[in-house]
Amino acid sequence: MDLKITVSGTVQGVGFRPFVYRLAKTCRLKGYVKNLGNGSVEIYLSGFKKNIEKFMKKLKTEKPPLSDIREISIDEVVNKIVYTDFHILTSSEDYKKGVSIIPPDISICDECLKELFSEKNRRNHYFFITCTNCGPRFTIIHSLPYDRDRTSMRDFPMCDKCRREYTNPLDRRYHAQTIACHECGPKIYLTDNDGREVDCVDPIKEAVKLIEEGFIIGLKGNGGFHFATSTINSEPIIKLRKRKNRPSKPFAVMSPNIEKIKSFAEVSEYEQTLLESYIRPIILLNKRADFNLSEEISPGLHNIGVMLPYTGLHYLLFETYKEPAMIMTSANPQDEPIAIDNENAVSKLGGYVDYFILHNREIVQRADDSVVRFHNNNPLLLRRSRGYVPQPIDLPWLKDDAPVVLGCGGEENVTFCIIKEGKAFLSQYIGKTQKYETFKFYKDSITHFKKLLKADFQALACDLHRGFNTTIYAQQLSEELNIPVAKIQHHYAHLAALMGENDLKKMLGVIIDGFGLGENGEAWGGELLIFERNNFKRLGHIEEYPLPGGDAATRYPLRIAMGFLYGEEGYSDWIKKVYNVLPYGLREVRVIHKMLESKKLVKTTSAGRFLDCASAILGLCYYRSYDGEPAIKLESAGYKGKLVLDTTPILEENKLKVSEFVKELFKNRDNYRKADLAYSAMNYLGRGLAELAVKCCYEKKIDHIGVSGGVAYNEIVTSIIKKTVEKEGIHLVTHKFSPPGDGGLSFGQVVAYILLKEGGVLKIDANNW
């Protein structure tokens, strides 16, 4: 019996061909396996029917961990070819022409983990142990095809023993481009914070001792540096906060196993499954009531970001470490990208740490840890990076002749996205592009992706805000390449991202966000949008309210509260008690009062700023030291709260009125628990926007409502929207593959470009900047 089988999905660069080879040999079959391109392989099988049936069963059940088989097509061969053995063939010409599917970095596999701690294995305690099924991929690749001499492993010639494994198709390390050992691979060493090597027998064990003694270590990993220190001793955590000027932004922690995590956090079966997957993201877990780590890790919050080890180095750190967890958070100066170079790290991070653990392998591409949060047992991406990138998002609705488009993103939590050949390639997390170093990382990464994907851009999509560096970059690139650029309104892009990943062409979106420039220059952020008749339209929004001082009000949310409450009963006595939280005290209060009296103010419809205002009124957060802090602390305060205020929404002309509720919250600020008032504020926002959306849905005869934007991370708000919407028999659509916040904006921009171009309503005005 002879069959030709095409396997589609993610089956390239993940050890799939060697797996097929070994499986075919085990099943006594002859033929070949070769790459076809676009993530597909072709398998020719010749042998007895029962052996082929055994092969097909094991193909699905025993495939490599990173492979994703989405489709198998089988054709019986009429003109049979005689094969005397099973072979791995070189890639076809079609493969070389198509888009190569580049695998992400993969956490250490169980087999390598056993070898790491086996005294009989020659890689015992080797920090860079890997095989075909695990190890760095995206972060080491210079160019394609994925061969050793095109990766940062080219600096490490294989020893004879590694060479034999690499060339043996029956070996687990056959064509494992990261293959290495103590003799021929990267080396690890300990230095002080000036980069001078510290003489010690075992650098890793020495680093563990230093961490337990209260020191801070700069740790070089696969995709960048981390800060590592104790989670029990608050002193080094406070010291790190002062050195980084990071007063309250939470730090991530790493724990050796699930049992240790469960000693300080609550873990559902869904969270555990993702924690233990090859992705190994940071997951935001709720703290246990008897939380036993330092409160300095995530001050004022009900949750903590936790991940499991994903490299041999991490597991070796925990071999002798006594605490249940270790701080393991991205190492970078404020708003700059994560450090990847030894010399640069010593120069820029030496003032933050006491020692470094370094190795001599180059990191080609940065990749911060991915961050996930679960809502109702469904994962929601906060940061899509290591473990996910550069795996594409499939777009089966995309037409074959769709142009290659680059989405340039926004200004914070920036990513970029390239659509090509039915797939969207969303970049790793970039960060805030206001800083030169981060903007350079952004531009260099676009160049790198362009080369890997062989992408010749035919169009660009960017944000409407002309002051964003990404928008300026899009204009310059448009002129350089002589290609069109489309400016996509910020919240339209959020809605388009939802539509693109859910394959929907008509949807009403509840876009709950911080800020996005509106079509007429307004500050939008709490929007009801629709895509119909091939275009986007604004149906409703939160009522406009003052934002005294513009950006200053986003940093000091007390200003927003003053805009709502100035002149109200009890306001004068209250402001006398809290004015000192403003940088210039009473002088600043007087200036703000003059602004309010003049009525010459920036106004906004922002859902995020409404939550910030409530946070300030309740005394939870007066200064935003990190993105979303006031609203995040409001959610943590209200996590176990109950409804104590009337949250019947006031809807007028497709607007959700919020001013009366804010005044009611202020009047009752001392009458109820903060937890209950915080919950009531989030309930009002969620219920009000949901009821307004349902009303618009009935008018437009739509049966899908989507929720997106930065505030969609708030579990209380989104759960109330879900409950309200589904009570009316309407399906609520949420994000599955891209972040709801600005990390998914670039994906939404390219989807919006395609949708508007297909509808013939795309506005391209490259000169109107």
Instruction: Give catalytic residues, as residue numbers.
Output: 17, 35
Instruction: State how far the Cα of 620 lies from the Cα of 576, in Å rounded to an integer.
Output: 17
Q: Which residues of 185-218 are buried (b: 16+ CB within 10 A; e: fewer)?
A: bbebebbebeeeeeeeeebbbbbbebbbebbbbb
Interacting residues of 188 by C-beta distance below 8 A, sequence separation 6+? 127, 128, 203, 204, 313, 357, 358, 359
Query: Of 743, 735, 747, which is closest to residue 379 (Cα–Cα)?
Result: 735
Q: CA separation (Å) from 599 to 205, 520, 547, 566, 602?
A: 63, 19, 11, 12, 9
3-class state of residue 424 by DSSP: strand
Beta-bridge partners for 425: 418
Instruction: State how far the Cα of 731 lies from the Cα of 7, in Å rounded to an integer.
Output: 34
Interacting residues of 199 by C-beta distance below 8 A, sequence separation 6+? none
User: How many other C-beta atoms can be found within 10 angstroms of the C-beta atom of residue 558?
Assistant: 27
Do 622 and 612 contact (CB within 8 A), yes or no?
Answer: no
Instruction: State how far the Cα of 214 lies from the Cα of 212, in Å rounded to an integer.
Output: 5
Q: Which amino acid is it at 80?
A: K
Q: How far is CA 530 from its chain centroid?
A: 26
Instruction: State how far the Cα of 3 lies from the Cα of 584, in Å rounded to an integer.
Output: 78
Interacting residues of 732 by C-beta distance below 8 A, sequence separation 6+? 705, 706, 707, 721, 722, 725, 726
Give the up-direction half-sphere exposure of residue 690: CA atoms within 13 A in the CB hemisphere: 27
Beta-bridge partners for 527: 511, 541
Instruction: State how far the Cα of 91 lies from the Cα of 69, in Å rounded to an integer.
Output: 19
- The encoded tokens of residue 625 equal 């030291």
Residue found by looking up tokens 């209950």 in the block: 676
Q: Which amino acid is it at 376?
A: N
Phi, psi at 307, each rounded to 5°: -140, 165
Query: Of 280, 284, 285, which is closest to residue 256 (Cα–Cα)?
Result: 280
**Burial of residue 245, with CB atoms counted within 10 A of its CB: 0-12 exposed, 13-18 middle, 19 or more buried:** exposed
Instruction: State how far the Cα of 284 lies from the Cα of 307, in Å rounded to an integer.
Output: 9
Instruction: State how far the Cα of 486 lies from the Cα of 404, in Å rounded to an integer.
Output: 14
Instruction: State how far the Cα of 171 lies from the Cα of 166, in Å rounded to an integer.
Output: 7
Instruction: State how far the Cα of 107 lies from the Cα of 309, in Å rounded to an integer.
Output: 8
- Omega prior to 403 cis, within 30 of 0: no
Element (H, E) at 443: helix 436-453
Query: Of 544, 541, 543, 508, which is closest to residue 526 (Cα–Cα)?
Result: 541
Q: How far is CA 439 from its chain centroid?
A: 18
Q: Cα torsion for 230, 232, 236, 237, to the nearest 10°? A: 100
